[in-house]
Amino acid sequence: MDLRLTSLTAALLASLLSASALGAVVVLPKYNVSTNDVSVSGLSSGGYMAAQMHFAYSKTIKKGAGIVAGGPVYCSQGNVSIATGPCMADTGSRNLSYLESVIDTWSGNGYIDPTSNLAGARVYLFSGTLDSTVRQPVMNDLNSMYAHYINAANIFYKNTLAAEHSMPTDFFGNACSVNGSPYVNNCNFDTAGEILKWIYGPLNAKNVSTLSGTFINFDQAAFWGNFNPNTHGMASSGYAYVPASCAEGQACKLHVAFHGCKQNVATVGVNYYQNTGYNRWADTNNMIVLYPQATSTAANPNGCWDWWGYDDVNFPAKSGGQMVAIKTMIDRIVSGNVAAPYTCGHWYDSNYWHVYYGRAYIGGDGQVYATNSNQYLGYYSTAAYTDVRRTSAGYYAYGSCP
């Protein structure tokens, strides 16, 4: 898998066939999910995305994270040469102490949630010894970064399996030593299961037969406010696996799984969201798995998640466009729980009144930003009108409701 900016021909037919099999795109439903049971994981660019989501929104992603072939948060520093060099090929130092000092500053000024929220999280890290795309020393630094904020007993680092750059499974994919599409390899190792068991503790045995639940194809555009997600590196729709128990209203957990570059539905069809092993465990453990979808753009031809700033200078922050989109997806899902019964609220008003009513605040530069997401809204003026939405208690972002 190539996280770099090289050309890509998307397999459009696979995308169309998959969408057709799932039926019409639907509004993402609400479910009975506790806000204490949300976790994330990801591979490659998805691993970077999962880690930066975990750090930026640690108040929301309380349970933990699983990172496969990723690296330290803000490793790229917004520079693609650093991203492809030190942060992938290990061609130089990642200056970990500097990255941690930046994170500490962000934690203190609200650019991300306070890092103190990470203390109780559980983190599973995986790096294959054969990985030729994201070299193992890069993951070693992520391990050190997490250990700076989390007790070592809460971190498990699997770095002994002879696996190439892929999501290792115990039932599907290429040979373990292959670095190639769909970047899912049969290594006789259940990475998804190990991640989920480490984060959530003992689980019921996985279902290796026919799944009881359903896959849904949901509208991602709704979570971009008034923007077109396609121009920001995200597809118009995403996917989720919902066990029958969760659809029926039982108490469930939520895990968000980020695919890597060249691994979205448009490129590999169902191979990531149906064949990486998460759903087998989700089916028997009351767990919804959300599979957001990135897409190709001129600046991001490989359909990667934004971990180097191809779309947004605030890519690792609470205010990053993709970050807000995923956060509001989570808010939507958990709002079916009685403890988080928020439906999207929308106000089109002047920035003066947004500030007055607490939906926004005035930054140090005299400009107006949405409360909690920190998204830029414009001038502090009675003449500057902006759409603002609330998707959870005290959390506001730019845009309107679905």
d(CA 112, CA 316): 8
Q: Decide: 89 and 4 in contact? Cβ < 8 Å.
A: no
Interstrand relation of 184-186 and 167-169 (parallel, antiparallel or unpaired): parallel
Q: Which residues pair with 169 in a beta bridge?
A: 186
d(CA 154, CA 142): 14
Report, as residue numbers or ranges, the catalytic residues: 44, 131, 165
CB within 8 Å of 334: residues ≥ 6 apart:
30, 31, 33, 34, 35, 38, 254, 340, 392
Tokens 């121009």 found at:
231
CB within 8 Å of 210: residues ≥ 6 apart:
none
Other Cβ atoms closer than 10 A to 188: 11
Q: DSSP secondary-structure letter at 372? A: B
d(CA 4, CA 308): 10
CA angle 285, 289, 293 (to 5 degrees): 170
At 21, give phi and psi (nearest 5°).
-65, -30
d(CA 287, CA 190): 17
Measured CA to CA in angstroms, residue 94 lies from 87, 125, 308 at distances of 7, 18, 14
CA angle 222, 277, 53 (to 5 degrees): 45
